[in-house]
Amino acid sequence: MSQLTSEQRSELLKNKDLHIFGEDLSQLELVGCEECDTIYRRVDLAAGERAYCECCGAELYRQPKSFTSLLALVITAFIIFVIANSFPIVKVELQGNFSQTTLLGAAWTMFQIDRAFVGILILITTFIVPLIDLMLLMYVLTSIGIFKTRPKFLRLTLRVLFLFRVWGMVEVFLIGVLVTLVKLVGMVIVIPGIALWAFGILSILLVYISSIKIKDIWDEIDRCLS
């Protein structure tokens, strides 16, 4: 991978196409490090390979999975998301009295006990953001992977997906629930619900899905539709 000098880099920012190393380069053939701004010439990678920055070691890009297999993964995550929100997370028993709740039920309880801020945070980070994230990914991947057409709101969709990356916190919620359950054991009888297992699987899937950079999806779209 050839590294550009700072003069070539600043020249590149002004011009869409540039003559470097005796060749015509377009911006599509270049990739910038998100951590240190060093610009490199893109090289083709084999499946599963990743390119790293020589200066800071950050990941530059990788060869993403095909859109159809990524779509299958997103649909699976969506189905598990529906299951996780349709069944109780946990059932507790104290002196013959049973109590159980779903994720939305837990958020609603927060509103009822004047903890509206916590309720809103739970709703946003574990329900609204993951739901919109999965639906937008399905929209983009279906349009390009199956119908081979550029989605009408592609730019807006990918920007929203990029912004939402930091707000999805299903795994944090799951760890919070598990810590609470461990503390409750001994005081009450705790019976894990279907949704608890579903949230565990969903967390793993979402971590994998969010490890795929939006930039790599952009590049794959350019490659597929060019």
Write down the least CB distance from residue 44 to Zn ion, Å: 20
Reduced to 3 states (helix: H, G, I; strand: E, B; else coil), residue 122 is helix
| Cα dihedral 166/170/171/173 (nearest 10) | 110
Dihedral angle sign, alpha carbons of residues 178, 128, 211, 57 = negative
Closer residue to Zn ion, CB minimum distance, 58 or 179: 58
Size of the site for Zn ion (CB under 5 A): 8
Rounded Cα–Cα distance for residues 77 and 149 (Å): 24
35 binds Zn ion (CB under 5 A): yes
55 binds Zn ion (CB under 5 A): yes
Strand partners, 97: 94
Closer residue to Zn ion, CB minimum distance, 56 or 82: 56
Rounded Cα–Cα distance for residues 45 and 120 (Å): 43
- Is residue 200 within 8 Å of residue 174, measured between CB atoms? yes
Host H or E run for residue 109: helix 103-112
56 binds Zn ion (CB under 5 A): yes
Write down the least CB distance from residue 23 to Zn ion, Å: 23
Write down the least CB distance from residue 45 to Zn ion, Å: 17
Q: Which stretch binds Zn ion (CB under 5 A): 55-63, 146-154, 158-166, 214-222?
A: 55-63
Write down the least CB distance from residue 6 to Zn ion, Å: 14
Structure tokens at 46: 């084999």
Among 53, 136, 154, 217, binds Zn ion (CB under 5 A): 53
Scan residues 66-95 and list those touching Zn ion (CB under 5 A).
none
Among 36, 79, 179, 182, binds Zn ion (CB under 5 A): 36
How many angstroms separate the Cα of 216 from the Cα of each of 124, 135, 212? 26, 19, 7
Closer residue to Zn ion, CB minimum distance, 39 or 90: 39
Write down the least CB distance from residue 40 to Zn ion, Å: 9
Q: Which stretch binds Zn ion (CB under 5 A): 33-41, 81-89, 172-180, 211-219?
A: 33-41
54 binds Zn ion (CB under 5 A): no
Residue 20 has a CB neighbour count (10 Å cut-off) of 16
Do strands 39-41 and 50-52 pair parallel, antiparallel, or not at all (unpaired)?
A: unpaired
Closer residue to Zn ion, CB minimum distance, 5 or 180: 5
Structure tokens at 31: 């990739």
Closer residue to Zn ion, CB minimum distance, 31 or 103: 31
Rounded Cα–Cα distance for residues 188 and 185 (Å): 6
33 binds Zn ion (CB under 5 A): yes
Residues binding Zn ion (CB under 5 A): 33, 35-36, 38, 53, 55-56, 58
